[in-house]
Amino acid sequence: MLRRELEYFLGAVRFFTRLPVPAWVGHSAEALNGSARWFPAVGLVVGGIAALVYLAALQLWPQPVAVLLAMAATLYATGAFHEDGLSDTADGLGGGWDKLRILEIMKDSRVGSYGVVALWLGLTGKFVLLATLDPALVPWALLAGHALSRWCATLLLATMDYVREDLLAKAKPLATRLSPGALLVATVCAAAPLAGLPWPQAALGLLLALLATVWLAAKFRRWLGGYTGDCLGATQQVAEIAFFLGVLAQWPR
């Protein structure tokens, strides 16, 4: 039981990042489907890397530089996997007029103007928000933001249908609906780091991340009838930014 779950977790690490995993980790369809529950746990790993880089860099450089290096570390660790999904989704929804055309654009490896703008806004937005946040809260925000945003993407796996049929599609191995038990595991992993933040900021961040997810899910249902791997990446990125917005928000006095 424990070895199987460890294999699922390491399979998720291999699928969603470029981090090395032991050679004994299998490649079966069952293991790939089981790995979806550990999506937020992978966020803890990626967020942990970012937090460590931030704390180390903060000893030598100002906060904006430390944030920039932390972001670079996450991009290196993931291979910009989710940023690519955000770019493709923006191009597809921005330039397509029906389901088939949107999917065709999203599959195209070239980046269009909508994708460039989305990438710029996403990366710049995260940098500005984290560079403005209380320095002591940034490590917890990174941990919680990466885990929670991946949980938001997991909600699409649990509630929506997969719409691509080609075997090379990014999310094909994860297209099986999550069970309630698997969703519970994902929820626990996503909720744990929220405890490191003041509860009003954590609650508002959670609320904004959920609202962003609901908004995107509605667009995906309307235009595609479900989700693709790019949609999962876009959801992760937008939910992460929305979470940081909530953590940074100042309550009116």
pTM of the entire predicted model: 0.93
Distance CA 176, CA 11 (A): 16
Question: 155 in a domain, yes or no?
Answer: yes
Structural domain including 132 reads 2-248
Domain count of the fold of the chain: 1
Q: Is residue 253 part of a domain?
A: no
In a domain, 121, yes or no: yes
Q: Is residue 84 part of a domain?
A: yes
168: pLDDT strictly greater than 70: no
Domain membership flag for residue 237: yes
For 6-58, how does the pLDDT look when each residue is reduced to its tens digit (9 = 90+)?
888 999 999 899 999 988 887 766 667 778 899 999 999 999 999 999 999 99
User: Does residue 187 belong to any structural domain of this protein?
Assistant: yes
- Residues whose CB is less than 8 angstroms from the CB of residue 139 and which lie 6 or more positions away in sequence, other chains included: 51, 54, 55, 196
First-to-last alpha carbon distance for the chain, in angstroms, is 52
Transcribe 24-75 into DSSP letters.
T----HHHHHHHGGGHHHHHHHHHHHHHHHHHHHHTTS-HHHHHHHHHHHHH
